[in-house]
């Protein structure tokens, strides 16, 4: 019997097979979870839906529907459908972030007002909106879990992460407040802060290959994470195995975020 046999959940934000959300979804599926999925609304051609269905239909998606997290009606429609399909759900995986390239690639002081507000609405406020809609529809089970995805650039300065770092800081603060507010209902709220992975989102970050090299050289384990690492961590945080953990940002980065200074062998290699 799988760890999540009989458990039901919503997955928001899978972009493609290289998404962290997909790595977590695969682990949830292996352990028996039933899941429904949302995608960014399409225009005239169902490009996003087709891309998502190619991944999730083979694993038995209960439903697939569009959701624009900037539209409360879209979010409510997803919760109504989830209530019809599942009654109650045991987990939500929130993997949604966006900033326009013009605002992301430049210095933070140059970000436009419109771009800042859009990035913050999609990348941080959307978690509050989704959690609030789930609570309003009373679809979260007594032992439920909400998980979102963040990055170390929300805690410390990571050159090139820029505006998204500010959004992730807000997201992580939202995790803590949601954990406090939803805790009495039995719902836990956490975030995974993953080390660098080659996802679509990572393509918007400057000097990504240098970042990979730095993490691999400086982390205590002298290595980079892979999708398997973050997939297993997501499974843990969405399962009852993590029943005593809430309001946390769990770093899955081979220990990089705990290094206060470069290790001796890294410094030695720089001499040449």
8 Å CB contact between 27 and 235? yes
Enter the tokens of residue 61.
Answer: 């998606």
Tokens 């963040």 belong to which residue? 150
8 Å CB contact between 191 and 249? yes
Catalytic residue among 109, 116, 125, 161: 161
Whether residue 125 lies in the annotated active site: no
DSSP string, 69-80: TT-HHHHHHHHH
DSSP string, 222-266: SS---HHHHHHHHHHHHSGGGTT--S-EEEESTTGGG-SS--HHH
Among 222, 221, 242, smallest CA distance to 232 is for 242
Instruction: Compute the 3-state secondary structure of the chain and give helix, strand, coil in percent, each to the nearest 5.
Output: 50, 15, 35
Tokens 């913050």 belong to which residue? 120
8 Å CB contact between 94 and 129? no
φ/ψ bin of 66: left (φ > 0), alpha (ψ from -120 to 50), beta (otherwise): beta
Whether residue 151 lies in the annotated active site: yes
Using a 10 angstrom Cβ sphere, with 0-12 exposed, 13-18 middle and 19 or more buried, the burial of residue 214 is middle
Catalytically active residues, by annotation: 151, 161
């Amino acid at each position: 019997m799988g760890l999540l046999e009989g458990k039901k959940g919503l997955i928001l934000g899978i972009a493609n097979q290289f998404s962290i959300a997909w790595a977590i979804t695969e682990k949830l599926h292996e352990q028996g979870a039933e899941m429904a999925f949302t995608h960014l609304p399409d225009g005239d051609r169902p490009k996003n839906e087709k891309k998502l269905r190619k991944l999730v239909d083979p694993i038995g998606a209960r439903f697939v529907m569009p959701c624009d997290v900037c539209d409360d009606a879209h979010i409510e429609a997803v919760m109504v459908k989830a209530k019809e399909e599942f009654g109650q759900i045991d987990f939500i995986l929130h993997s949604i972030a966006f900033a326009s390239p013009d605002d992301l690639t430049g210095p933070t002081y140059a970000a436009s007002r419109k771009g800042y507000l859009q990035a913050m609405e999609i990348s941080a406020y959307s978690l509050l909106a989704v959690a609030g809609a789930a609570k309003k529809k009373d679809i979260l089970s007594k032992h439920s879990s909400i998980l979102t995805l963040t990055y170390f650039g929300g805690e410390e300065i990571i050159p090139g992460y820029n505006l998204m770092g500010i959004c992730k800081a807000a997201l992580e603060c939202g995790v803590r407040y949601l954990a406090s507010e939803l805790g009495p209902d039995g719902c836990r709220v956490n975030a995974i802060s993953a080390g660098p992975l080659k996802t679509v989102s990572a393509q918007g970050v400057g000097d990504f290959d240098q970042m990979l090299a730095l993490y691999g050289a400086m982390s205590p384990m002298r290595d980079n994470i892979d999708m398997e690492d973050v997939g297993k961590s997501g499974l843990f945080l969405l399962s009852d195995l993590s029943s005593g953990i809430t309001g946390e940002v769990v770093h899955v980065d081979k220990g990089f975020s705990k290094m206060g200074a470069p290790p001796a062998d890294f410094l030695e290699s720089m001499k040449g």
